Protein backbone atom coordinates (compact mmCIF):
# COMPACT_ATOMS: atom_id res chain seq x y z
CA UNK A 1 0.00 0.00 0.00
CA UNK A 2 1.52 3.34 -1.02
CA UNK A 3 1.46 6.39 1.24
CA UNK A 4 -0.75 9.17 -0.16
CA UNK A 5 1.15 12.22 -1.37
CA UNK A 6 1.16 15.12 1.04
CA UNK A 7 -1.17 17.85 -0.21
CA UNK A 8 0.27 21.35 0.12
CA UNK A 9 -1.33 24.71 -0.62
CA UNK A 10 1.01 27.70 -1.04
CA UNK A 11 -0.72 31.06 -0.50
CA UNK A 12 0.94 34.21 -1.82
CA UNK A 13 0.30 37.55 -3.49
CA UNK A 14 2.71 37.11 -6.39
CA UNK A 15 4.50 34.49 -8.46
CA UNK A 16 7.11 34.80 -11.20
CA UNK A 17 6.68 35.35 -14.11
CA UNK A 18 3.03 36.40 -13.75
CA UNK A 19 3.49 39.11 -11.09
CA UNK A 20 6.78 40.07 -9.47
CA UNK A 21 7.81 42.90 -7.17
CA UNK A 22 10.73 41.12 -5.49
CA UNK A 23 12.26 37.83 -4.42
CA UNK A 24 9.00 36.50 -2.97
CA UNK A 25 7.72 35.86 -6.49
CA UNK A 26 10.82 33.80 -7.33
CA UNK A 27 10.40 31.67 -4.21
CA UNK A 28 6.71 31.01 -4.87
CA UNK A 29 7.55 30.07 -8.46
CA UNK A 30 10.30 27.59 -7.58
CA UNK A 31 9.61 25.98 -4.18
CA UNK A 32 6.24 24.38 -5.11
CA UNK A 33 7.75 22.93 -8.29
CA UNK A 34 10.65 21.42 -6.34
CA UNK A 35 8.21 19.91 -3.83
CA UNK A 36 6.08 18.47 -6.62
CA UNK A 37 9.20 16.87 -8.09
CA UNK A 38 9.73 15.21 -4.70
CA UNK A 39 6.27 13.63 -4.78
CA UNK A 40 4.03 16.17 -3.04
CA UNK A 41 0.63 17.18 -4.41
CA UNK A 42 1.18 20.96 -4.56
CA UNK A 43 -1.17 23.78 -5.51
CA UNK A 44 -1.12 27.58 -5.23
CA UNK A 45 -3.69 30.16 -4.18
CA UNK A 46 -3.30 33.64 -5.68
CA UNK A 47 -5.38 36.84 -5.85
CA UNK A 48 -7.13 37.46 -9.17
CA UNK A 49 -4.89 40.27 -10.37
CA UNK A 50 -5.26 41.03 -14.11
CA UNK A 51 -1.76 39.75 -14.93
CA UNK A 52 -2.56 36.44 -13.23
CA UNK A 53 -5.97 35.92 -14.81
CA UNK A 54 -4.55 36.80 -18.23
CA UNK A 55 -1.70 34.29 -18.10
CA UNK A 56 -3.05 31.13 -16.45
CA UNK A 57 -4.78 28.53 -18.62
CA UNK A 58 -7.89 26.40 -18.38
CA UNK A 59 -9.83 28.63 -15.99
CA UNK A 60 -12.95 27.07 -14.54
CA UNK A 61 -15.12 27.99 -11.58
CA UNK A 62 -14.78 25.83 -8.46
CA UNK A 63 -17.26 27.72 -6.30
CA UNK A 64 -19.30 30.89 -6.69
CA UNK A 65 -19.01 32.57 -3.29
CA UNK A 66 -21.04 35.73 -3.91
CA UNK A 67 -20.61 38.94 -1.94
CA UNK A 68 -17.99 39.21 0.83
CA UNK A 69 -15.22 41.52 2.07
CA UNK A 70 -16.77 44.46 0.26
CA UNK A 71 -16.87 42.76 -3.13
CA UNK A 72 -20.22 42.05 -4.77
CA UNK A 73 -18.93 39.09 -6.79
CA UNK A 74 -16.32 36.60 -5.58
CA UNK A 75 -15.53 33.29 -7.26
CA UNK A 76 -12.82 30.71 -6.71
CA UNK A 77 -11.36 29.63 -10.02
CA UNK A 78 -9.05 26.75 -10.82
CA UNK A 79 -6.44 26.88 -13.57
CA UNK A 80 -2.87 25.91 -14.42
CA UNK A 81 0.28 28.00 -14.31
CA UNK A 82 2.16 28.55 -17.55
CA UNK A 83 5.33 26.55 -17.97
CA UNK A 84 5.28 24.05 -15.10
CA UNK A 85 1.52 23.44 -15.27
CA UNK A 86 0.93 23.38 -11.53
CA UNK A 87 -2.68 23.71 -10.43
CA UNK A 88 -3.47 27.20 -9.17
CA UNK A 89 -6.57 28.56 -7.46
CA UNK A 90 -7.32 32.18 -8.30
CA UNK A 91 -9.63 34.38 -6.22
CA UNK A 92 -11.69 36.31 -8.74
CA UNK A 93 -12.99 39.51 -7.12
CA UNK A 94 -12.84 42.28 -9.72
CA UNK A 95 -13.84 45.01 -7.26
CA UNK A 96 -10.79 44.20 -5.11
CA UNK A 97 -8.19 43.01 -7.61
CA UNK A 98 -8.94 44.36 -11.09
CA UNK A 99 -6.76 47.46 -11.08
CA UNK A 100 -3.36 48.76 -12.18
CA UNK A 101 -0.24 49.31 -10.10
CA UNK A 102 1.30 46.38 -8.27
CA UNK A 103 -0.37 43.94 -5.85
CA UNK A 104 0.01 46.33 -2.91
CA UNK A 105 0.23 49.90 -4.25
CA UNK A 106 -1.15 52.13 -6.97
CA UNK A 107 0.94 53.64 -9.77
CA UNK A 108 1.99 56.48 -7.44
CA UNK A 109 3.44 54.12 -4.82
CA UNK A 110 0.52 54.61 -2.40
CA UNK A 111 -0.89 51.64 -0.48
CA UNK A 112 -4.31 50.56 -1.70
CA UNK A 113 -6.74 51.76 1.02
CA UNK A 114 -8.65 48.45 0.93
CA UNK A 115 -5.65 46.16 1.36
CA UNK A 116 -7.19 44.79 4.55
CA UNK A 117 -10.14 43.40 2.59
CA UNK A 118 -8.02 42.34 -0.38
CA UNK A 119 -5.65 40.16 1.64
CA UNK A 120 -8.06 39.07 4.36
CA UNK A 121 -10.15 37.57 1.55
CA UNK A 122 -7.12 35.65 0.30
CA UNK A 123 -6.51 34.16 3.76
CA UNK A 124 -10.20 33.44 4.36
CA UNK A 125 -10.47 31.41 1.17
CA UNK A 126 -7.25 29.54 2.03
CA UNK A 127 -8.86 28.53 5.34
CA UNK A 128 -12.00 27.31 3.55
CA UNK A 129 -9.87 25.21 1.21
CA UNK A 130 -8.11 23.83 4.29
CA UNK A 131 -11.47 23.00 5.90
CA UNK A 132 -12.48 21.08 2.78
CA UNK A 133 -15.56 23.13 1.94
CA UNK A 134 -14.29 25.15 -1.05
CA UNK A 135 -13.15 22.49 -3.54
CA UNK A 136 -15.02 19.17 -3.13
CA UNK A 137 -12.25 17.36 -5.02
CA UNK A 138 -9.18 18.57 -3.11
CA UNK A 139 -8.18 19.90 0.29
CA UNK A 140 -4.65 20.48 1.62
CA UNK A 141 -2.93 18.78 4.51
CA UNK A 142 -0.77 21.87 4.98
CA UNK A 143 -1.34 25.53 4.15
CA UNK A 144 1.96 27.36 3.60
CA UNK A 145 1.37 31.12 3.83
CA UNK A 146 3.97 33.56 2.53
CA UNK A 147 4.49 36.96 4.18
CA UNK A 148 1.85 39.29 5.62
CA UNK A 149 -0.33 39.18 2.51
CA UNK A 150 -1.20 35.54 3.21
CA UNK A 151 -0.83 35.57 7.02
CA UNK A 152 -4.54 35.75 7.76
CA UNK A 153 -4.78 32.17 6.51
CA UNK A 154 -3.22 31.11 9.82
CA UNK A 155 -5.65 33.13 11.94
CA UNK A 156 -8.74 31.87 10.11
CA UNK A 157 -7.53 28.26 10.36
CA UNK A 158 -6.78 28.67 14.07
CA UNK A 159 -10.20 30.24 14.66
CA UNK A 160 -11.86 27.13 13.22
CA UNK A 161 -10.69 24.43 15.60
CA UNK A 162 -12.01 21.56 13.49
CA UNK A 163 -9.85 22.37 10.46
CA UNK A 164 -7.89 19.19 9.68
CA UNK A 165 -4.87 21.02 8.19
CA UNK A 166 -1.67 22.45 9.63
CA UNK A 167 -0.37 25.91 8.81
CA UNK A 168 3.19 27.05 8.15
CA UNK A 169 4.03 30.73 7.91
CA UNK A 170 7.14 32.07 6.19
CA UNK A 171 8.49 35.52 7.00
CA UNK A 172 10.18 36.83 3.88
CA UNK A 173 10.71 40.31 5.35
CA UNK A 174 9.63 41.23 8.88
CA UNK A 175 9.81 44.96 8.11
CA UNK A 176 6.63 44.81 6.00
CA UNK A 177 3.91 43.90 8.49
CA UNK A 178 0.49 44.66 7.04
CA UNK A 179 -0.75 47.16 9.63
CA UNK A 180 -4.35 48.42 9.60
CA UNK A 181 -6.65 50.52 11.84
CA UNK A 182 -8.14 48.60 14.75
CA UNK A 183 -11.60 49.96 13.94
CA UNK A 184 -11.61 47.76 10.81
CA UNK A 185 -11.63 44.66 13.02
CA UNK A 186 -15.26 43.79 12.33
CA UNK A 187 -14.50 43.40 8.62
CA UNK A 188 -12.36 40.34 9.35
CA UNK A 189 -15.19 38.27 10.86
CA UNK A 190 -12.96 36.74 13.53
CA UNK A 191 -13.70 35.90 17.16
CA UNK A 192 -13.26 38.81 19.55
CA UNK A 193 -10.73 36.81 21.59
CA UNK A 194 -8.24 37.42 18.77
CA UNK A 195 -8.64 41.18 19.08
CA UNK A 196 -6.10 41.60 21.87
CA UNK A 197 -2.33 41.88 22.39
CA UNK A 198 -2.33 38.08 22.56
CA UNK A 199 -3.89 38.08 19.10
CA UNK A 200 -3.66 40.51 16.19
CA UNK A 201 -3.50 43.78 18.14
CA UNK A 202 -0.20 45.59 17.77
CA UNK A 203 0.17 49.00 19.44
CA UNK A 204 -3.41 49.96 18.70
CA UNK A 205 -3.41 48.55 15.17
CA UNK A 206 -4.17 45.24 13.49
CA UNK A 207 -1.08 43.35 12.33
CA UNK A 208 -1.45 40.70 9.64
CA UNK A 209 2.20 39.74 10.17
CA UNK A 210 1.38 38.99 13.79
CA UNK A 211 -1.46 36.73 12.68
CA UNK A 212 1.08 34.51 10.97
CA UNK A 213 3.60 34.63 13.79
CA UNK A 214 1.04 33.86 16.50
CA UNK A 215 -1.35 31.38 14.92
CA UNK A 216 0.65 29.23 12.50
CA UNK A 217 1.75 25.78 13.64
CA UNK A 218 5.30 26.49 12.49
CA UNK A 219 7.12 29.73 11.58
CA UNK A 220 9.97 29.83 9.12
CA UNK A 221 12.27 32.51 7.82
CA UNK A 222 14.35 32.36 4.68
CA UNK A 223 17.77 31.87 6.27
CA UNK A 224 19.11 30.50 9.57
CA UNK A 225 20.86 33.76 10.47
CA UNK A 226 17.70 35.81 9.89
CA UNK A 227 15.75 33.40 12.11
CA UNK A 228 18.13 34.27 14.93
CA UNK A 229 18.22 37.98 14.12
CA UNK A 230 14.46 38.57 14.21
CA UNK A 231 14.37 37.48 17.85
CA UNK A 232 16.53 40.50 18.74
CA UNK A 233 15.55 44.11 19.32
CA UNK A 234 17.87 45.29 16.53
CA UNK A 235 16.24 43.24 13.78
CA UNK A 236 12.87 42.31 15.29
CA UNK A 237 10.94 45.37 14.01
CA UNK A 238 8.97 45.49 17.27
CA UNK A 239 7.89 41.85 16.97
CA UNK A 240 10.97 40.27 18.55
CA UNK A 241 9.00 39.39 21.68
CA UNK A 242 6.42 37.52 19.62
CA UNK A 243 9.20 35.68 17.79
CA UNK A 244 10.90 34.73 21.06
CA UNK A 245 7.59 33.43 22.41
CA UNK A 246 7.47 30.97 19.46
CA UNK A 247 11.17 30.09 19.64
CA UNK A 248 10.58 26.33 19.65
CA UNK A 249 8.50 26.59 16.47
CA UNK A 250 10.75 29.00 14.50
CA UNK A 251 13.06 27.59 11.85
CA UNK A 252 15.39 29.18 9.31
CA UNK A 253 15.46 27.44 5.92
CA UNK A 254 17.70 29.05 3.34
CA UNK A 255 16.08 29.94 0.03
CA UNK A 256 17.27 28.28 -3.12
CA UNK A 257 17.28 29.55 -6.69
CA UNK A 258 15.81 28.17 -9.87
CA UNK A 259 18.95 26.71 -11.41
CA UNK A 260 17.20 26.20 -14.75
CA UNK A 261 16.27 29.89 -15.05
CA UNK A 262 19.56 31.09 -13.60
CA UNK A 263 22.16 29.09 -15.51
CA UNK A 264 24.97 30.85 -17.40
CA UNK A 265 25.54 27.72 -19.50
CA UNK A 266 22.08 27.98 -21.10
CA UNK A 267 20.82 31.52 -20.39
CA UNK A 268 19.22 32.95 -23.56
CA UNK A 269 19.27 36.51 -22.18
CA UNK A 270 23.06 36.90 -22.01
CA UNK A 271 25.60 37.74 -24.70
CA UNK A 272 27.51 34.44 -24.49
CA UNK A 273 26.95 31.29 -22.46
CA UNK A 274 29.67 29.99 -20.17
CA UNK A 275 30.38 27.86 -17.12
CA UNK A 276 33.29 27.20 -14.77
CA UNK A 277 34.96 24.86 -17.27
CA UNK A 278 34.44 27.28 -20.18
CA UNK A 279 34.76 30.77 -18.68
CA UNK A 280 35.52 32.71 -21.87
CA UNK A 281 31.89 33.68 -22.34
CA UNK A 282 32.07 35.67 -19.11
CA UNK A 283 34.48 38.13 -20.73
CA UNK A 284 32.14 38.48 -23.72
CA UNK A 285 29.24 39.23 -21.35
CA UNK A 286 31.38 41.84 -19.61
CA UNK A 287 32.15 43.66 -22.86
CA UNK A 288 28.49 43.48 -23.89
CA UNK A 289 27.38 44.96 -20.57
CA UNK A 290 29.84 47.83 -20.82
CA UNK A 291 28.54 48.57 -24.30
CA UNK A 292 24.86 48.33 -23.31
CA UNK A 293 25.36 50.48 -20.22
CA UNK A 294 27.54 53.07 -21.94
CA UNK A 295 30.44 52.30 -19.62
CA UNK A 296 34.02 52.91 -20.71
CA UNK A 297 35.50 49.82 -22.38
CA UNK A 298 38.14 49.60 -19.69
CA UNK A 299 39.53 46.09 -19.15
CA UNK A 300 41.20 47.18 -15.90
CA UNK A 301 37.98 48.45 -14.28
CA UNK A 302 36.10 46.46 -11.68
CA UNK A 303 32.50 46.35 -12.97
CA UNK A 304 30.05 46.16 -10.06
CA UNK A 305 26.37 45.40 -10.61
CA UNK A 306 23.51 46.27 -8.28
CA UNK A 307 20.09 44.74 -8.95
CA UNK A 308 17.89 45.82 -6.11
CA UNK A 309 14.97 47.77 -4.74
CA UNK A 310 16.30 51.25 -4.10
CA UNK A 311 15.62 51.49 -0.37
CA UNK A 312 17.61 52.28 2.75
CA UNK A 313 17.20 48.64 3.84
CA UNK A 314 19.41 47.66 0.92
CA UNK A 315 22.21 49.99 2.07
CA UNK A 316 22.28 51.90 -1.20
CA UNK A 317 22.93 55.18 0.59
CA UNK A 318 26.27 53.60 1.58
CA UNK A 319 27.01 53.05 -2.10
CA UNK A 320 26.19 56.66 -2.96
CA UNK A 321 28.47 57.98 -0.23
CA UNK A 322 31.35 55.75 -1.34
CA UNK A 323 30.93 56.38 -5.08
CA UNK A 324 33.36 59.31 -5.56
CA UNK A 325 36.25 57.45 -3.92
CA UNK A 326 35.55 54.19 -5.74
CA UNK A 327 35.07 55.77 -9.18
CA UNK A 328 38.40 57.53 -8.78
CA UNK A 329 40.05 54.16 -8.15
CA UNK A 330 38.73 52.53 -11.33
CA UNK A 331 35.39 51.01 -10.35
CA UNK A 332 32.35 51.09 -12.64
CA UNK A 333 28.74 50.65 -11.50
CA UNK A 334 25.77 49.28 -13.47
CA UNK A 335 22.60 49.62 -11.40
CA UNK A 336 19.04 48.45 -11.97
CA UNK A 337 16.23 49.19 -9.54
CA UNK A 338 13.36 51.31 -8.45
CA UNK A 339 12.07 52.51 -5.12
CA UNK A 340 12.78 55.55 -2.99
CA UNK A 341 12.48 58.66 -5.16
CA UNK A 342 15.37 60.40 -3.42
CA UNK A 343 17.69 57.43 -4.04
CA UNK A 344 16.59 57.18 -7.67
CA UNK A 345 17.32 60.88 -8.14
CA UNK A 346 20.70 60.64 -6.40
CA UNK A 347 21.82 57.72 -8.58
CA UNK A 348 20.70 59.53 -11.74
CA UNK A 349 22.71 62.56 -10.61
CA UNK A 350 25.74 60.30 -10.10
CA UNK A 351 25.30 58.97 -13.62
CA UNK A 352 25.17 62.52 -15.03
CA UNK A 353 28.29 63.48 -13.09
CA UNK A 354 30.26 60.37 -14.08
CA UNK A 355 29.34 59.31 -17.62
CA UNK A 356 31.09 56.13 -18.63
CA UNK A 357 31.52 55.09 -14.98
CA UNK A 358 27.93 54.88 -13.68
CA UNK A 359 24.78 53.72 -15.46
CA UNK A 360 21.38 53.52 -13.81
CA UNK A 361 18.42 51.61 -15.24
CA UNK A 362 15.25 52.52 -13.33
CA UNK A 363 12.45 49.98 -13.18
CA UNK A 364 12.85 46.23 -13.38
CA UNK A 365 13.67 44.23 -16.50
CA UNK A 366 14.20 40.50 -15.93
CA UNK A 367 16.34 39.92 -19.03
CA UNK A 368 18.49 42.95 -18.24
CA UNK A 369 18.97 41.64 -14.69
CA UNK A 370 20.46 38.49 -16.20
CA UNK A 371 22.76 40.56 -18.44
CA UNK A 372 23.94 42.73 -15.53
CA UNK A 373 24.72 39.74 -13.34
CA UNK A 374 26.44 37.82 -16.14
CA UNK A 375 28.45 40.82 -17.33
CA UNK A 376 29.66 42.29 -14.04
CA UNK A 377 32.76 41.22 -12.16
CA UNK A 378 31.06 41.62 -8.79
CA UNK A 379 27.57 42.20 -7.42
CA UNK A 380 27.00 44.44 -4.40
CA UNK A 381 24.39 43.68 -1.73
CA UNK A 382 25.32 46.03 1.15
CA UNK A 383 22.06 45.57 3.07
CA UNK A 384 21.38 46.85 6.56
CA UNK A 385 19.34 43.68 7.00
CA UNK A 386 18.64 40.91 4.53
CA UNK A 387 16.32 37.97 5.26
CA UNK A 388 17.94 35.84 2.58
CA UNK A 389 18.85 37.73 -0.56
CA UNK A 390 18.74 36.12 -3.98
CA UNK A 391 20.97 38.35 -6.09
CA UNK A 392 24.09 37.20 -4.25
CA UNK A 393 23.07 33.61 -5.06
CA UNK A 394 22.62 34.55 -8.70
CA UNK A 395 26.03 36.20 -8.54
CA UNK A 396 27.65 33.03 -7.19
CA UNK A 397 26.01 30.98 -9.91
CA UNK A 398 27.33 33.35 -12.62
CA UNK A 399 30.84 33.75 -11.19
CA UNK A 400 30.05 37.36 -10.27
CA UNK A 401 31.59 37.69 -6.84
CA UNK A 402 29.26 39.07 -4.13
CA UNK A 403 30.24 42.09 -2.04
CA UNK A 404 27.91 41.86 0.95
CA UNK A 405 27.33 42.88 4.55
CA UNK A 406 27.49 40.10 7.13
CA UNK A 407 23.76 39.91 7.94
CA UNK A 408 20.96 37.39 7.43
CA UNK A 409 21.18 35.16 4.40
CA UNK A 410 24.17 37.10 3.10
CA UNK A 411 26.19 35.85 6.07
CA UNK A 412 24.96 32.30 5.42
CA UNK A 413 25.88 32.18 1.73
CA UNK A 414 29.07 34.20 1.14
CA UNK A 415 32.49 33.33 2.56
CA UNK A 416 34.81 36.31 2.85
CA UNK A 417 38.08 36.21 0.92
CA UNK A 418 40.21 36.37 4.05
CA UNK A 419 43.72 34.98 3.86
CA UNK A 420 42.65 31.87 5.76
CA UNK A 421 39.55 31.25 3.59
CA UNK A 422 41.55 31.73 0.39
CA UNK A 423 44.22 29.32 1.62
CA UNK A 424 41.53 26.75 2.42
CA UNK A 425 39.80 27.34 -0.94
CA UNK A 426 36.52 28.38 0.74
CA UNK A 427 36.30 32.04 -0.24
CA UNK A 428 33.46 33.12 -2.53
CA UNK A 429 33.21 36.91 -2.10
CA UNK A 430 33.92 39.97 0.02
CA UNK A 431 32.14 40.58 3.33
CA UNK A 432 32.05 43.63 5.60
CA UNK A 433 30.46 44.16 9.00
CA UNK A 434 29.81 47.82 9.81
CA UNK A 435 27.03 49.52 7.77
CA UNK A 436 29.19 52.48 6.78
CA UNK A 437 30.40 53.91 3.45
CA UNK A 438 33.98 53.33 4.57
CA UNK A 439 33.44 49.63 5.28
CA UNK A 440 31.64 49.14 1.98
CA UNK A 441 34.38 50.99 0.08
CA UNK A 442 37.07 48.84 1.70
CA UNK A 443 35.27 45.66 0.63
CA UNK A 444 35.03 46.93 -2.97
CA UNK A 445 38.71 47.91 -2.87
CA UNK A 446 39.60 44.38 -1.76
CA UNK A 447 37.65 43.05 -4.72
CA UNK A 448 39.49 45.46 -7.04
CA UNK A 449 42.85 44.30 -5.72
CA UNK A 450 41.86 40.64 -6.09
CA UNK A 451 40.82 41.16 -9.70
CA UNK A 452 44.28 42.54 -10.43
CA UNK A 453 45.57 39.06 -9.55
CA UNK A 454 44.16 36.85 -12.34
CA UNK A 455 45.05 33.53 -10.70
CA UNK A 456 43.41 34.51 -7.43
CA UNK A 457 40.34 35.93 -9.18
CA UNK A 458 39.84 32.78 -11.23
CA UNK A 459 40.13 30.70 -8.08
CA UNK A 460 37.50 32.78 -6.28
CA UNK A 461 35.21 32.68 -9.31
CA UNK A 462 35.52 28.89 -9.64
CA UNK A 463 34.74 28.35 -5.96
CA UNK A 464 31.73 30.68 -6.21
CA UNK A 465 30.36 28.81 -9.22
CA UNK A 466 30.81 25.49 -7.43
CA UNK A 467 28.27 26.44 -4.75
CA UNK A 468 25.01 24.50 -4.76
CA UNK A 469 21.90 26.54 -4.04
CA UNK A 470 19.12 24.69 -5.85
CA UNK A 471 15.68 24.24 -4.30
CA UNK A 472 16.11 20.49 -3.87
CA UNK A 473 17.48 20.69 -0.31
CA UNK A 474 15.13 23.43 0.97
CA UNK A 475 12.12 21.67 -0.55
CA UNK A 476 13.01 18.52 1.36
CA UNK A 477 13.44 20.52 4.58
CA UNK A 478 10.02 22.11 4.18
CA UNK A 479 8.35 18.75 3.57
CA UNK A 480 9.94 17.42 6.76
CA UNK A 481 8.72 20.51 8.61
CA UNK A 482 5.19 19.93 7.31
CA UNK A 483 5.29 16.42 8.75
CA UNK A 484 6.40 17.88 12.06
CA UNK A 485 3.55 20.42 12.03
CA UNK A 486 1.01 17.70 11.23
CA UNK A 487 2.13 15.36 14.03
CA UNK A 488 -0.09 16.92 16.77
CA UNK A 489 -3.12 16.85 14.46
CA UNK A 490 -2.49 13.20 13.68
CA UNK A 491 -2.15 12.43 17.38
CA UNK A 492 -5.52 14.12 18.04
CA UNK A 493 -7.13 12.34 15.12
CA UNK A 494 -7.83 15.64 13.34
CA UNK A 495 -5.60 15.18 10.31
CA UNK A 496 -7.13 13.80 7.13
Structure confidence by residue, pLDDT tens digits, 142-152: 999 999 999 99
Q: Which tens digits make up the pLDDT trace of 317-362?
A: 999 999 999 999 999 999 999 889 999 999 999 999 999 999 999 9
> Which is more confident, 3 or 55?
55
| pLDDT of amino acid 3 | 62
pLDDT in tens, 427-476: 999 999 999 999 999 999 999 999 999 999 999 999 999 999 999 999 99
Contact (Cβ atoms closer than 8 angstroms) between residue 143 and residue 130: yes
User: In the beta sheet, which residues pair with residue 454?
Assistant: none
Of 4 and 252, more confident:
252
Identify whether the C-beta of residue 243 lies closer than 8 Å to the C-beta of residue 213: yes
Listed residue (6, 254, 9) closest to 144, CA to CA: 9
pLDDT band with cut points at 50, 70 and 90 for residue 491 = confident
Question: For the whole model, what pTM was predicted?
Answer: 0.92
φ, ψ of residue 156 to 5 degrees: the values are -65, -40
Percent of the chain at pLDDT exceeding 70: 99
As a whole number of angstroms, the distance between CA 214 and CA 255 comes to 23
**What is the pLDDT at residue 101?**
85
Sheet of 378-381: strands edge to edge? 358-362, 331-337, 302-307, 378-381, 401-405, 430-432
CB atoms within 10 A of CB 100: 8
Confidence of residue 251 (pLDDT cuts 50, 70, 90): very high
- Residues 30, 474: Cα–Cα separation, whole Å: 11
Cis peptide upstream of residue 17 (ω within 30 degrees of 0): yes
**153 pLDDT higher than 90:** yes
Answer yes or no: are the C-beta atoms of 105 and 111 closer than 8 Å.
yes
Query: Rounded to whole angstroms, how far apart are CA atoms 286 and 372?
Result: 9
Q: Is pLDDT at 130 greater than 70 in this prediction? A: yes
Confidence of residue 223 (pLDDT cuts 50, 70, 90): very high
Q: Which domains does the chain have, with CATH numbers?
A: 7-256+472-491 (3.40.50.2000), 280-465 (3.40.50.2000)
Contacts of 96 (CB under 8 A, 6+ apart): 47, 69, 70, 71, 114, 117, 118, 121
CB atoms within 10 A of CB 136: 9
Amino acid sequence: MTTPAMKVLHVAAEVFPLVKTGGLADVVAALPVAQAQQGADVRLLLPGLPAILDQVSGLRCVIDIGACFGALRVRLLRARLPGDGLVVYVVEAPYLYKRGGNPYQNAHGEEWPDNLQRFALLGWIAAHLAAGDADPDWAPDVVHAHDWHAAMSCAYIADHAATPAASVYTVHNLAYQGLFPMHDWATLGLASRLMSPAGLEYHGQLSFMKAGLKFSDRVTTVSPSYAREISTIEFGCGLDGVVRSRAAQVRGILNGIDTAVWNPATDPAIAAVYDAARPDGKAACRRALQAEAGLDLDDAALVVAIVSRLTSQKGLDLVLAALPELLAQGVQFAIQGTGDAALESAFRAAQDQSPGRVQVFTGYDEARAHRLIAGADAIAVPSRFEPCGLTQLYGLRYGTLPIVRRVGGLADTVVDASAAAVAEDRATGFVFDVPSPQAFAQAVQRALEARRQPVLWARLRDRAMAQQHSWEGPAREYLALYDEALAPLRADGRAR
